[in-house]
């Protein structure tokens, strides 16, 4: 798979051959979906809780006698049909964690990367480097690469202080190291900007 290798000014340096085993496979949608569900589930705290009729306060006395009042019979003002009563079958604390084996996790990552490469949503640069930590320099670099305004995942081999500081005020950008990128990060971004050294790291891990 041929891809253009650019510099930060958006100029082509050379053609780059992407690894077919990582960026050119036939994506497995089932495994990819499972990985996305797993990632989203891991973000859930599972601390939701409602009180049953045994846990709400009050209601120890029968509100009125059983017969003769014309009202429906009631045993407690904290039954589920009363305002302020308990909740029937409400949520309780639980774990939403799911499991996926190592081969499936690798396949899901390869599928996500392959979708990005196949749809031309992958931009490869030789190095992501800024002279200063100013946000305007980051915006200028993205404009040169025609990525301004896009929901963007920026992948680097190692963090640079200037890049961190210049990108942190931009809401549409997520900056990650190559070894931190997950399936949800890839599919959530419209485009991926990745430096060549980070590309090599990903290839080594997934092969």
Q: What is the pLDDT of residues 7-62, one digit of tens each?
A: 888 888 988 888 899 999 999 999 999 999 999 999 999 999 999 999 999 888 99
Q: What is the pLDDT of residue 63?
A: 93
Write down the pLDDT at residue 207.
81
Cβ neighbourhood burial of 171 (10 Å; 0-12, 13-18, 19+)? exposed
The size of the chain, in residues, is: 207
With both helix axes pointing from N to C terminus, report the angle between 102-118 and 29-42 in degrees, rounded to the nearest 10.
110
Q: What is the model's pLDDT at position 110?
A: 94
Torsion of CA 41, 111, 188, 161, to 10 degrees: 100
Q: What is the pLDDT of residue 81?
A: 94
57-102 pLDDT per residue, tens: 988 899 999 999 999 999 999 999 999 999 999 999 999 999 999 9
pTM: 0.81
Q: Can you spell out the DSSP letters for 110-178?
A: HHHHHHHHHTT-EEEES----SS--HHHHHHHHHHTT-TTS-EEEEESS--HHHHHHHTT-TTEEEEEG
Q: How far is CA 12 from CA 126, 128, 183, in A?
A: 10, 15, 28
CA-atom Rg of the chain in angstroms: 27
């Amino acid at each position: 798979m041929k891809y253009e290798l650019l510099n930060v000014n958006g100029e082509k340096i050379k053609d780059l051959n992407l690894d077919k085993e990582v960026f050119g496979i036939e994506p497995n949608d089932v495994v990819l979906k499972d990985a996305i569900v797993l990632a989203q589930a891991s973000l859930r705290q599972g601390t939701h809780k409602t009180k049953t009729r045994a846990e709400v306060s009050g209601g120890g006395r029968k509100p009125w006698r059983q017969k003769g009042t014309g009202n429906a019979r009631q045993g407690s003002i904290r039954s589920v049909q009363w305002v302020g009563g308990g909740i029937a079958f409400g949520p309780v604390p639980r774990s939403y964690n799911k499991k996926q084996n190592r081969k499936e996790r690798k396949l899901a990552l390869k599928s996500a990367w392959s979708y990005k490469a196949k749809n031309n949503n992958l931009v490869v640069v030789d190095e992501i480097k800024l002279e200063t930590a100013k946000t305007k320099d980051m915006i200028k670099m993205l404009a040169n690469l025609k990525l301004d305004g896009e929901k963007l995942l920026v992948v680097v081999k190692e963090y640079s202080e200037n890049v961190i500081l210049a990108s942190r005020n931009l809401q549409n950008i997520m900056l990650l190291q190559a070894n931190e990128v997950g399936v949800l990060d890839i599919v959530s971004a419209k485009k991926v900007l990745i430096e060549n050294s980070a590309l090599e790291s990903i290839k080594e891990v997934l092969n």
